[in-house]
Amino acid sequence: NPLDYSGVWRFRELFPFAPENQIVTIGEGQTVLQQNDGVAKYAGINSGGLYLQYEGMNPSGSFKDNGMTAASTHARMVGAKFTACASTGNTSASLAIYGGITGLFQVLVFVGSGKIAYGKLSQALDYGAVTLQIDGDFDDALKQVRRVCDQAGIYLCNSVNPFRLEGQKSIMYRVLEGLGWEVPDWIVVPGGNLGNSSAFGKAFMELKELGLIDRIPRLAVINAAGASTLTRMYNDEGLRWNDGKPDQNLIAEYFRRMDEQDGRAGTLASAIEINRPVNLTKCLRALSVCDGVVRDVSDEEILDGKAQVGRHGFGCEPASGASVAGAKLLREQGIIAPSDRVVCILTGHQLKDPTVTVAYHSGDREALAKHGAVEPHFGNAPIRV
C-alpha cells in the first residue's frame, strides 16, 4: 500500500478521519532523527543525549507538509476547489506544492509584505499559487484570509484547521519510532502560531490513553524575544489551561494592551514573527498535558543555535535554531539536566532563508538590522565560513 511509504499516513490509525481512497500524499514525513554530540556539547547536554529531528527533508522543505497532507485530504473530501492560507512562508510553500502537484484545488496565499524569506516566496510562486502581499504582517494577513475564506467559501488551511494538526501529530510518532518507542525527557520546539506544540500535546495525550506510552515527555516551547506572546502570558501573567477554561479576561486585556501599543512582532526568525497565536488555548492544553515550560530567546541566541546545527548537522532555517537556543537556556537554568534525553525539532530546511545566514556568517550587522530584528546586537559569529 503506497500509504505505508508516507511518514504521516503509515500512522493513519491514529487519525482515522480519512477514507483511504481520498488520502492526498506526496511522500511527506521522510524525516531524520539525528543524535548530535556537537550540538549536545554546545547546549551543555551529555554526549548521546541530544537529538535533532530534521523536518527539512519534507517535499516543501518544512514540517508543514505533515499537516498539509491531512488538510489537503480533508479539502478533497469536502470537494473544495479553492484553498487559502496566510503565511510567514512555509505554510504557503506547503499548500502551494500540494495544490500544484495534485491539481485538486487552486491555492491563494496571503503574506505580509517584506515579511517572508525569498526561498519560501519563490516556492509559492513557482508552484503556481496566487500570491497576495498584504500591507501588514502575518497577524494582519491571517485576519484578512479568514474573512475572505468566510465570505467566499474558500477552504482555509492555516493551523486553525484541526485536520492539519492531526497530521502534525506524526512528527512525534516518528520521534518515538526513532527512539525505539522510548519516551525522551524533553521535546523542544519553536513556537509561532503554536500549531505544532498543540499537535504534540494531543499526540502524547492520546498515545498515553491508548497505552502505547507509559509516560509523557516534557514540552518546551521557545518564542523569539520579539514575538513572545506565549512567554509573556504563560510566565508573566500566569495564564493556564485550567481544565479548558483559561482566563478569557486576561487574554482580552493582554491583546487590548498590545493594540494600544501597536505591538507588532519583530524577529529575524521571520517564520515565527507572530504576536497573536491562534492556537494559544490549544497550546495551553499541551503545556498542561506535558508539564511544559515556555521561554523566549534573543535573535542572537537563535542564530548562534542555528550555526551550531549547520556546523554539526543538516542545518536549518533561523526559526528552527530557537529549539537549540532554548535547550541551551533551559540547561543553563538547571531545568534540563545534563543527563536528560532531549529532542530538538528542526522545523525548516537550511536553504529557506539564505539572506539571514550569509549576513550572520559575514558579521553584517547592518543587513541583520535591516532585516527586522527588534534589538540587533550581534557579536562576531562563533563559527565563520
Secondary structure (H, E, C), 142-175: HHHHHHHHHHHCCEECCCCCHHHHHHHCHHHHHH
In angstroms, rounded to a whole number, what is the distance separating the alpha carbons of residues 316 and 349?
Answer: 5
Task: Please state whether beta strands 293-297 and 342-346 pair in parallel, antiparallel, or not at all (unpaired).
Answer: unpaired
Residues 320-339 that bind ligand F0G (CB under 6 A): 320
Residues 61-90 that bind ligand F0G (CB under 6 A): 62, 64, 87-90
Fill in the DSSP letter of residue 126.
Answer: H
Task: Select the span of 129-137, 187-195, 207-215, 284-292 touching ligand F0G (CB under 6 A).
Answer: 187-195
Among 80, 157, 222, 271, binds ligand F0G (CB under 6 A): 271
Task: Show the cell assigned to 382.
Answer: 562563533
- Region of residue 185 (phi > 0: left; psi between -120 and 50: alpha; otherwise: beta): alpha
Task: Select the span of 193-201, 212-220, 301-309, 329-337 touching ligand F0G (CB under 6 A).
Answer: 193-201
User: Looking up cell 492560507, which residue turns up?
Assistant: 85
Shorter beta-carbon distance to ligand F0G: residue 273 or 340: 273
**Distant-in-sequence, close-in-space partners of 244: CB < 8 Å, separation ≥ 6:** 285
Task: Show the cell assigned to 371.
Answer: 532585516
**By the rule CB under 6 A, 347 interacts with ligand F0G:** yes
Shorter beta-carbon distance to ligand F0G: residue 118 or 181: 118
In terms of C-beta density within 10 A (0-12 exposed, 13-18 middle, 19 or more buried), how is residue 198 classed? buried
Shorter beta-carbon distance to ligand F0G: residue 49 or 175: 175
**By the rule CB under 6 A, 372 interacts with ligand F0G:** no
Shorter beta-carbon distance to ligand F0G: residue 46 or 133: 133
Report the greatest alpha carbon distance in the chain: 55
Shorter beta-carbon distance to ligand F0G: residue 288 or 320: 320
**By the rule CB under 6 A, 319 interacts with ligand F0G:** yes
**By the rule CB under 6 A, 191 interacts with ligand F0G:** yes
The nearest distance, CB 209 to ligand F0G, in angstroms, is 23
Residues lying near ligand F0G in the complex (CB under 6 A) are found at 62, 64, 87-91, 159, 190-196, 271-272, 317, 319-320, 347-348
